[in-house]
Amino acid sequence: MSFTTLGLSDPILKAVAEEGYTTPTPIQLQAIPAVMAGKDVMAAAQTGTGKTAAFTLPILDKLSKRGSVQANQVRALILTPTRELAAQIAESVDTYGKHLRLRSTVVFGGVNINPQMMKLRKGVDILVATPGRLLDLYRQNAVNFRQVEVLVLDEADRMLDMGFIHDIRKILALLPKNRQNLMFSATFSEDIRNLAKGMVNNPVEISVTPRNTAVELVEHWICPADKKQKTPLLIHLIKENNWSQALVFTRTKHGANKLTRSLEQSGINAAAIHGNKSQGARTKALADFKKGTVRFLIATDIAARGLDIDLLPQVVNFDLPNVPEDYVHRIGRTGRAGASGQAISLVSADEFQQLSDIERLLKQILTRKFIDGFEPTHDLPESNLDRRPFIPKKPNPQNRPNLGHRDGQRSRTSSHGSKPKWSQSKAKAKR
Ligand code: AMP
């Protein structure tokens, strides 16, 4: 099956061919005809499945065929949780729409609002936005939603995790009732379905498995280690295996900064990316990593979620995530586009509960490898696979990020990046 059979216009097919895409991915095959037919869509799809093109291509097609945008208006609104994702989607819109005469822009917080207001003045056909900044712009009369024909809610599950539900509901209330709605989410929990009820009409439901799942393309194993030994162990692994590049996850922003400093002190070129970094620093770190001038990118979960970094051979979990699903998201960064990858987790004895939760979700016990000279003195207990079905935990609204940290911070961390008390006591109780 090729792109030409989907009914997209020639300028779009040309842009797609220039990107080197020959075959639509499963989500594109299902979503593109549905969106072109004007249907609402609810799609369970993660980053890496080609979902951005799945909604962007038919939207471009639709908008280019008729109508024009008026001052301060928007015709297609794409909402996404993080600044990096917003920038990435906007880049895709530009790429796929480069042979069309449509206007698009991206708005997110953390940067000066004035240039964004200027860009919105003439109106844009496609606006990619994070919710908080979009509402700020609306309140300042920089944008109006009267002309919105299509709404995309991307990474809806993460939006709820990050506490954006109220902003989303406010935005929904401002949009014209008669519009097309596309909702993309990695998972469809009860909360997402509740949100969907008020948003989509008789949707086409699509579910695709990621092109690379934890269990398929990525070779992943754990390395038991004492907490204090994790930094020297990582440095040893980098040097011993001559790793050229890796994305390294830490649980907290403080941990990311500390590890970055230690690597740099050992002559290993690294940069941190997390919600406390300025937008400029985040964009630069990501661009340098993509160019290869930064070899090790040290990231917290939200900052890294959805980042499309091609051909990443190596992911390291310096800390295990608190939320088991994040393990799958993290290691999904490697082995993209069919290439095989490797993911290693450094696990200390106090992370046994997180390890057990991940193994329960994956329905497999992860292989353990010990590294000579780094055998832990605090033993990691033996895994005993819990075969009860995995039930995702609901995010606790009490732990919603505060307004100063709407982006880039885990919903279950405090503003200092530490684990909230409830989850520590809960973890203890389980042990
Ligand atoms: P996404 O899931 O939207 O983040 O896309 C993941 C990656 O797949 C991006 O690097 C896209 O450029 C790429 N991609 C999207 N569609 C295709 C396709 N049909 N063929 C090859 N690569 C694609």
* pLDDT tens figures, 209-255: 654 344 456 788 999 999 999 999 999 999 998 998 999 999 999 99
Cα of 242 vs centre of ligand 1, distance in Å, is 29
Identify the three-state secondary structure at position 202.
coil
**pLDDT of amino acid 429:** 39
Binning pLDDT at 50, 70 and 90, where does residue 386 land?
Answer: confident
- The residue that leads in pLDDT, 275 or 158, is 158
How far is the C-alpha of 183 from the C-alpha of 104, rounded, in Å? 20
The answer on pLDDT for 419 being more than 70 is no
Cα of 391 vs centre of ligand 1, distance in Å, is 30
Cα of 314 vs centre of ligand 1, distance in Å, is 20
> Which of 5, 18, 19 best tests ligand 1's pocket when mutated (most atoms within 8 Å of CB)?
19
Specify the residue with its C-alpha closest to ligand 1, atom 13.
50
pLDDT tens track for 324-353? 878 887 886 665 545 567 899 999 999 999
Specify the residue with its C-alpha closest to ligand 1, atom 11.
50
Specify the residue with its C-alpha closest to ligand 1, atom 21.
21
**pLDDT of amino acid 305:** 64
pTM of the model: 0.64
For the chain, percent of residues with pLDDT exceeding 70: 83
**pLDDT of amino acid 216:** 58
DSSP 59-96: HHHHHHHS--PPTTBEEEEEE-SSHHHHHHHHHHHHHH
For the chain, percent of residues with pLDDT exceeding 90: 58
How far is the C-alpha of 161 from the C-alpha of 409, rounded, in Å? 10
The answer on pLDDT for 431 being more than 50 is no
Cα of 53 vs centre of ligand 1, distance in Å, is 7
**pLDDT of amino acid 274:** 85
Identify the weakest region by mean pLDDT among 131-140, 257-266, 359-368, 371-380.
359-368
Residue range 11-21: mean pLDDT, rounded: 95
How far is the C-alpha of 14 from the C-alpha of 21, rounded, in Å? 10
> Which of 13, 52, 184 best tests ligand 1's pocket when mutated (most atoms within 8 Å of CB)?
52
**pLDDT of amino acid 313:** 74
The closest of 331, 379, 377, 324 to 353, measured between CA atoms, is 324
Q: Please provide the average confidence, as pLDDT, over all residues in the chain.
A: 85
Identify the weakest region by mean pLDDT among 111-125, 210-224, 351-365.
210-224
Residues with CB under 6 A from ligand 1: 21, 23-25, 28, 47-53, 308
**pLDDT of amino acid 399:** 43
Q: Which two tokens stand for residue 66?
A: 């008729």
**pLDDT of amino acid 308:** 62
